[in-house]
Structure formats: structure tokens, C-alpha cells
Amino acid sequence: MHLPATGEIAVYVDGHKDPLLTAKDTTFTSGRVGFGSFDNIGRTRLFTVTGSAA
């Protein structure tokens, strides 16, 4: 979830009702979804991004 007006960001994993990560940052009003690792290979399976129109 990202609310550009307030800067609220929440990341939900595997359908859990509580977010795994939260943050507040008003720097960006839009962007892209991504993930990364410093030393390890990242793999995803059945990756889904959901949301609603602004």
C-alpha cells in the first residue's frame, strides 16, 4: 500500500492482514515495485501486486 498524500507505505506478504514492513516517506508520489539483495540471489514465484486506482 502506498498513499502519496501522506507518504504511508505498507508491505504485506502472503495475504497476512498485518504489514511486514511500514514506512512514511513523501519524497515520491509514484514509482515501481522491486526487490533486491546485497549478496544473495533473489527469486520469486507467483508474484502478485494488487492495488486500486488513485
Render pLDDT for 10-41 as a digit per residue (tens, 0 to 9).
988 888 899 999 999 998 777 777 777 777 77
- Structural domains of the chain, count: 1
* SS3 readout for the chain: CEECCCCEEEECCCCCCCCCEEEECCCCCCCCCCCCCCCCCCCCCCCCCCCCCC
Residue 6's pLDDT is: 92
Apex 17 CA angle, 9 and 14, nearest 5:
90
Domain coverage including residue 14: 1-54
Residue 24's pLDDT is: 94
Residue 46's pLDDT is: 80
